[in-house]
Chains A and B, each alone.
Chain A
C-alpha cells in the first residue's frame, strides 16, 4: 500500500520549512537515491550490472554450504525471552488505547488541523510516522501490528452482524486486489498531500474493514483479507523479534521466514509478488521512461487513470509470470517430480527480504528527513510551530540505500538456499533447483537498481 512519493514530499517539506534555498542543489537530492549514481565515473548501467553480479555470485558462494544440519543451525540460532502474562496484558491494553486515540486524532486533525501538508498531523503521522517509520520497525524489530491495530481493537468490540464463513476458494486473492488497489489509489490521487482526502480514505477503509470483520469475524478478516495486516505479518516474519504462541523469541533477521511449514495457498505467492511489485511500481511511475511512455499513450486519447491501472495490472502479471516460470523451470533443473505449484508456494518467503530491502531503501531517508517535523507536529497537533525543520542527510546516504537493495537480495538468496535443502534430497539437487530463482532474483535486483538510479520525475497526469 502506501507509498507517498518520498523524494517529492521531502523536497516539499524542505521548502515549507523555509530552509535556506541557496543550498538547493544539495537539498534537491536529499533522500533521493539518484544521488548515489551522480558519481560521473561509474555509469548507471554498470552499477545495475554490478548489483546483478553480486546477487548471482552470492548464490555460487551459498553452494559451499551443503550440510543440512549447519544450514538449520544457522537459521535456528535464537533466544527465548521471558514475558510474564500480566505484563503482556497490561501493555497490550495500553498500546491499544493509545493506537485508537491516535487514529481518532488523525481524523480530527486531518479535517480541522492546519491543511499545509508539511504541518498536518494526519499527513505526517500516516506517511512519515506510520507507513515509513512504523513499517521499518515491523521488519527491523518485530510485528506489533496485531496488538496495535486500532481497527482490530474496535472490530473486536463490535458485535458480529453475520456469522458467514470466509469462502475458501477466494484464498488470498481479495487481499492481492486490495493491496494493488491501495497502491494505485495512492499513486493517482493526492492522498499524500491532501489531509481531507486522506481522512476520506481512512474513513472508507474503516467502514470496509469493520463491515468485513463483523461479517467474517475479526480473526479471519485480519488474517485472510485485510491487506495492511497481511503486509505487516509478512514483514514481521523478517524481524529478529518473533511473537509466537510460546512467547517472545529472538532470532537472526530473516530466519523466521524459513520456519513453519503451514500450507500456503496459491494466492499467498501472488500476495508476496504483489508486495514486491507494488513498491517497484511506485518507483517506476517516477522515472523519465514512464513519463515518455505515458505521454505517448495518453496522446492517443486513452484516459490517464486507465493507463496507470493497466500498467499496475500488466506489471503484476509480468512479475508473477517470472516467478511462476522460475518455479516450473526449477522442477526441471532439479530433476524432481515435486509439483510446480508446491515449489511456488514453498519458496515464496524468500522474496520478503527483497521487498524489505526496497522499502528501507525508499523510506529510511524519507523518515529521517521528516522526523524533526513529525516530532514537532506530534507535540502540538493543532498548533504546530511555524518554522519546521527537516533533517539534511549526508551524501553517502544514497550509497547506503543502494546497499540495502542489494543486501535484501543477498538474504533472499540464502533463505531460498535453506528452503531448497528442506525439500530436495542430497546436496546437488537443492543447489540445482536454485538456478531459475537466482535468475529471477537477478532480474528483480537489476529492475530495482535501474529504477532507483533514474532521476526523479513527477508522475504525469495525476
Chain B
C-alpha cells in the first residue's frame, strides 16, 4: 500500500519532471526556430553572394575589356617587357613609334631599339629599376625599324612575382623628338639672341611687372659701371639697384623722380637726355610692354649720344661762324663792286677822252690800244656785276607758289624780245608746277639769252620741252654751235666762258648762277651737247 504522503510526493515529482520536460521541449522548439531563422538568413546571404559574384564577373569582364582597349588605344606608348627585356606586349602607339607590326614586335628586345650611344645610360636605368622597382624620366634615343632615330622619355615600373622575383617591367614611352628639336632650336635662338643683345651699342634693361630685372646686356652694365656683368642683375629688384645708378647721374634726384613718373604712366617716352657725372650724355627711351591687354613690364634703352651731342655743338658754332663769314662776304662783294666800278667807269670815260682829244697824236695804232683799254674796263665792270648777281642768288627767301609754266615762258619770251631771225617753240600743255616764280624766270632767262647770244646760225631755233617723270623735266634745246664734251663741267663754274670774250660781252657768270638756283630749288641741271650739233640743257625740278 502506498501511503497518501508517498502519493503526494510522487505527484510532486511527476509535476516537477513534467515542468522540466516542458522546459526542455520549449527550449528545443526555441532553438529550432533560431536555427531555422539562421539557415534562412544563410540561404539569403548565399543568394546575394551568388548574384553579387555574377555581377562581379560581368564587371571584371567589362573592366578587363576596357583596360585592354585603353592599353591598345592609348595615346602614350605602352610596352610590357619580360625579365630578359624582351617585348611581350606593345600597344598600337608603341608599334607605330617603333614601326613594327603586332607580330614582329614580339621578336624585339630592348637592346634592338636602343640607340648605340645610349646603351650605357639605359643600363644604368635598368639597375635603378631592379633596385627601386621603378624609374622615371629616362630620356634617350631609339631606332625604329626604318632606321629613324627618335628621342623618347620612358617611365618604367618593375613587375615582381609573389616570391619577389623580377619578372619584367611595364614601360610608358613618350615620343619627345619634337620637344628635343624645339629645345635645340630654343638654345640656338637663345644664343643668337644673346649675341645680338651683346652686340648692341644700346644699353638694355628689361623689367617685369613686379619690378624684377629679367634681361640686361653688357652695354647697360658698362654705362652704369656694373663690373659683374648682366647676369648679376638678373632676378634683382630694379628699385633696389636704383641707388647704384643714381650716384652716377649729375642730377640723381630728378633722374629717380622722372624714372618713377615714367613707370607709373606706362607710356612710351623717347629721347630723355640723361647727363652723367663723367660728362657722358645718354638718351633714355622707355617702352611699356603690353601683352593680352595687360602690363607685363617695361624696357629701358640707353643710347650714348655724347659724341653726336659734341658734334651738334661744334656744328652749331660752325654754322654761326659760317653765317658771319657769308655776311662778311656779301658786304665785301657789295663794297668791292661799288668801289671797283667807280674807277672802272673813270678808266672807260678817260679812254673816250683820250681817243677824242689825242686822236692825232695817238695815231691809228694808239687809238686801237686805247679802245682795247676801254673794252677791258667794260668787261671788268660786267664781271663785277656778275659776281654781285651770283652772291645775291641765295639771299632772297624762297617763295613757293603755283606757277602756270605755259604763261610764264611766253611772258619771258616777250620780255627777252629775241632778234627777228630767231624762233622759239614752246611745247603745248606744260602743266602747272609749284615753285619760286622769280627763280624760275632767272633760270629760263639765263638759258634762253645764252642760247641767243652764242647762236651762230642764220636762223636761230630754240625749243622748250617738258616731260613728266619723277621730276618736272624741262629741256631747252638750241641749234647753236654746241659745246665740246671736255667743257661740259667747266661751263657751270663761275667765270668760265668758252667763246672769244668780247665778241659777246659775256661775263661767264650766267650758267653758274643757273646751276646755283636749280640747286637752291633742290633740282639738278645737265647738259647734252656736241660741237656742231646744238646744245640741250635739261633741268629737273622736284615735284612737291
Q: Do A and B bind each other?
A: no
On B, residues with C-beta under 8 Å from A are none
